[in-house]
Amino acid sequence: GQQVMQIPQYQHVQEGEDFTTYCNSSTTLSNIQWYKQRPGGHPVFLIQLVKSGEVKKQKRLTFQFGEAKKNSSLHITATQTTDVGTYFCADTGAGSYQLTFGKGTKLSVIP
């Protein structure tokens, strides 16, 4: 089945530093969704990318979808302690309702 690779697995940053997590696949991704899961919580939808080369911004968060639709990234500028959590990318797959999740990147922010 389809696999979505996500790196890094963990990232520790000083508050104010930037953070980036990357997802990639050997096959073409359909719709990339990004979720954030706080410790002890459930995944919360952040954004969806559909088009090749698409870039979307939410305040300090920038989401990109690669031109070949085989990779995606989430970049956080000037991290804050409220950004702590695990960020997952997920792909819907062609014609599917199901999400295939990456392994997630756990972000720790040192105040």
Partner 1 sequence: GAVVSQHPSRVICKSGTSVKIECRSLDFQATTMFWYRQFPKQSLMLMATSNEGSKATYEQGVEKDKFLINHASLTLSTLTVTSAHPEDSSFYICSALQGDRNQPQHFGDGTRLSIL
In the bound state with partner 1, the residue whose beta carbon lies nearer, of 66 and 102, is: 102
Q: Could you tell me where the DSSP H helices lie in 1-111?
A: none
Tell me, by CB under 8 A, how many residues bind partner 1.
Answer: 23
Burial class (CB in 10 A: 0-12, 13-18, 19+), 102: buried
Residue 43 has a CB neighbour count (10 Å cut-off) of 19
Q: Between 1 and 20, how does the x/- string for binding to partner 1 read (CB under 8 A)? A: --------------------
Q: What angle do CA 19, 22, 25 make, to 5 degrees?
A: 175
Residues 30-69 that bind partner 1 (CB under 8 A): 31, 33, 35, 41-45, 48, 50
Q: Please select the residue that binds partner 1; options are 28, 58, 81, 96, rule is CB under 8 A.
A: 96
E strand or H helix at 108, and its extent?
Answer: strand 105-110
Minimal distance, residue 101 CB to partner 1, in Å: 5
**Residue 41 DSSP symbol:** S
Tell me whether residue 44 or residue 55 sits nearer to partner 1 (CB atom).
Answer: 44
Which residue from 26, 38, 48, 53 is spatially nearest to 92, judged by alpha carbons? 48
Nearer to partner 1, 19 or 34 (CB): 34
Q: Which residues bind partner 1 (CB under 8 A)?
A: 31, 33, 35, 41-45, 48, 50, 88, 92, 95-104, 106
